Each structure stands twice: as structure tokens, then as C-alpha cells.
Amino acid sequence: MTKAGKRSGTTGAAMAPLARVRAILGGSAGNLVEWYDWFAYAAFSLYFAKTFFPKGDQTAQLLQTAAIFAVGFLARPVGAWIFGLYADRAGRKAALTASVALMCLGSLMVAVVPGHDRIGVFAPAILTLARLLQGLSVGGEYGASATYMSEMAGSKRRGFWSSFQFVTLIGGQITALAVLIVLQRLMSPADLNAWGWRIPFVIGAALAVVVFAIQMGLEETAAFATAHAAPAKQSGALSLFLDHPRETTVIFILTSGGSLAFYCYTTYMQKYLTNSGHFPKDEATLITFASLVIYLLVQPLLGWVGDMIGRTRLMAIGFALGALTVWPIMTGIASTHSALVALALICAALVFLTGYTAVNAVVKAELFPTRVRALGVALPYAMANAVFGGTAEYAALAFKQAGRESGFFLYVAAIMGLAAVTALVMGDPQGLGLIEED
């Protein structure tokens, strides 16, 4: 046995429960910070939109900030390609630490960039550059994180353990909203609009430094150590599509439905509550925050259910229920004046979506062999996010501005329906046994 092979035996399926928990939490820590920084932009855009785009009404300003939000998604396939190759060649740990360092840089840029009143068009230009850097980072983080956690999870409870990827993803969004809620309570609206919105980006950069130090102490996964010890031809993006066309297509379709619904019910929901539901900004933030806490808590539960009934079956059920209910849920939120009713409707939508989010990382990871796994998970995921996730908010606002807001609901339902059919017919990738060291 090679030295790497011996080492992998200490970190494979025979890991002690505490060691497995430590690896899962360490591998997901960067995920939390990455997504905190990513969502801080969406959470605080209600306050800094005027700083960069002083002309037009609120919807027009939000459209322009949403456009830059979408630009960040265009960088995610590039980040997925770069960091996916890096993770498959240098290791999952190396890719995780590099991506969180890049996110730190992007957050610092948003924190310090002057407004339109001081540097004119350079303000939104620098904001766009910062979002591009963050897009590269998040694009790389997903594949490295999903692969690392799936390879560390072991086969028996892989759905449960890998669900913590979305636990930390949602945790990042909750943290961003928590910072917003605290600042809303401690600062006047004038100060929050003028300069207070910069505080969360400073916090994000500082947290990234802490996580970088934590991840430097992580062990590499056994699957990567074993595969890396045996020389083999390296795979690139082209060979990924040529050698695994079915797998990449499946991931693209599943991610399209999951990402579009996710951004509809999370980042866009805060704006939908204020812009269409006519809730005050602070109340909309609280509703969104509460729904995300519930969303976070149900991830491990449905990850466990997926281990019991089959993970692709859970996906198909979740997507189907989501497609059938998006219209009544969104119209119900817009028509109600009760915060509790709005919260209940959002939570129902998020529980259906959890059928996908709780198990998506492991389902995708199990489709690919070790040497191309990080790239195979990350690249089609990032491409679908760029097309459907990154444009969700912009599409919703464009439909609203055109006076046809319900068209957006039909759009979400159609893409989720396609994902439901895909999950139903794709089969169970766990049976392929491609994740070694189980």
C-alpha cells in the first residue's frame, strides 16, 4: 500500500464519529462565510442602491443592483472551472482555503468603494468588479465543499451529513440578515443608508480570515488521497462534457430548478415582501429571517429522510410539490396583510425546496469518479446558477415592471417541473459506488 493509501485509511469510512463531525464542520465553515458575504449584498441592497444608482424609483434602483448581482453569477462558471480543476489536482482542502481568501478580497472592496456622488460611474464599476471576484469564489466553493463533505460523510448517512452544506449556506444568509436586523435596531435609517450598510462587508472579510486559519488545519479526504497516489491522465472541462454528458446535463437541470426556486424564496423574497406585499422593510427582514431559520432546521431532517426513502425520490417529490404550489404561495403572500400568514406560506415553499437542497450535494458527487468529481459537481451547477439563479431576481422585477408579475410564477413552476421529471427518471447514483473509502 502507498503512503497516501495508508494515510487515507485513517480518514475514510472508519473515522470516529467525533472526527467525522469535526471534518464536516471544518469543511463547511468556509461555506458559511462565503454565503454570508454573497447574501449580504442582497440583504443590504435595499439600503445601498441609491449610493450607486441615485436616479429612478425604488424598482429601477433595485433592478440595477439586481443586474450586478446577476453579473456575479456569470463569474461562477469560471470559478467552478478554475477551482474545480484545482480541487481535483491539488486537493479539496487547498481549493477551500483559496476560495475563502478570494471572497475576503471581494468583501473588502465592497466595504470601501466610494459612492456615485464621489467617483461617478467608477462606483458601480468597482462594485461590479467586487461581485465578479465574489462570483469566482462562490463558484469554486460549492464544488470543493460538496465534494469534501460527501467524501468525508461515509455511505450510511451521507444524505444527512452532506445536508450540512446547505445548513451552512442558509446559516450564512441568516447571519447576514441578523446583522441587518441588529443594525436596523441600533442605527437610524439615515445612517444605515449613508454608511451603515458597509459594516456587514467588513465583518465578512474579518470572518473569512478566521475561517482561513481553521481550514488550514483540515485533513484531506481519503478518496482524494487514494486517487492522487495513483498516476492518471488529468481531466479538463472539455473531457468532462465529452466523457460525462448525461451526468452534467442532469446536474444542470436539477440545479436550474433548485437555484431558481431558492433565489425566489430567499434573496428575492425580502424585496417581494416590500415591493409587492407592501410590508415595511424591517418587518420583511424579520419574516425572511424567521423563514430561513426554519429552512435551516429542516435540512438534516430531510437529509435523513432521503437516506431512508432514496435521495432522488425525495428530490422528485420536493420539486413536484414546489411546481404545483408556487402560484398560490406567491399570490397569497402578495395579498395577505398578516406577517404570520406570509411566514407560513414561505416556510411551506422552503420545506418543499428542501427535498432538493438537503441532498443535492451528495446526489451530484455520487455521479462522478474521484479525479473529476469536484469539477463535475461545480461546473454544471455554476452554469445553471448563472442562467437561472443569478437572473431570478432580475427576471422577477422585470415581470413586475412590465405589469405581468404572475408570469414569473409560471416561469418558476415550469423549471421546477422539468427538474421533478429529471429526478424521477435519473435513477439512484448511490448504486454506482463511485465514492471510494466507504
- pLDDT at position 421 is 97
What CATH number matches the domain at 16-221+234-432, 3.30.1450.10, 1.10.540.10, 1.10.287.130, 1.20.1250.20? 1.20.1250.20
Sequence-ordered list of residues with C-beta below 8 angstroms from that of 407, at least 6 positions apart, any chain? 399
Res. 301: pLDDT tops 70? yes
Predicted TM-score (pTM) of this structure: 0.80
- Residue 221 backbone zone (phi > 0: left; psi -120 to 50: alpha; other: beta): beta
Is the Cα torsion angle 172, 131, 266, 251 positive or negative in sign?
negative
Structural domain boundaries of the chain?
A: 16-221+234-432
Locate 105 and state its grid cell: 478580497
Locate 257 and state its grid cell: 430548478
Torsion angle of C-alpha atoms 354, 357, 363, 369, degrees rounded to 10: -170
- pLDDT at position 2 is 37
Res. 230: pLDDT tops 60? no
What is the Cα–Cα distance from 265 to 345, expressed in whole angstroms? 10
- Residue 433 backbone zone (phi > 0: left; psi -120 to 50: alpha; other: beta): left
pLDDT per position as a tens digit, 9-27: 344 445 666 767 777 777 7
Residue given cell 439512484 in the structure block: 428
Report the half-sphere exposure of 291 (CA within 13 A, side-chain side): 29
pLDDT per position as a tens digit, 375-424: 888 889 889 988 898 789 889 988 988 889 899 999 999 999 999 999 99
- pLDDT at position 16 is 65
312-to-24, 60, 145, 250, 255 alpha-carbon distances in Å: 22, 40, 20, 11, 13
Report the half-sphere exposure of 157 (CA within 13 A, side-chain side): 10
pLDDT per position as a tens digit, 214-228: 777 777 777 777 766
Least confident of 149-153, 246-250, 382-386: 149-153
Least confident of 148-152, 272-276, 303-307, 340-344: 148-152
> Using 50, 70 and 90 to split pLDDT, how confident is the model at 4?
very low
> Using 50, 70 and 90 to split pLDDT, how confident is the model at 237?
low
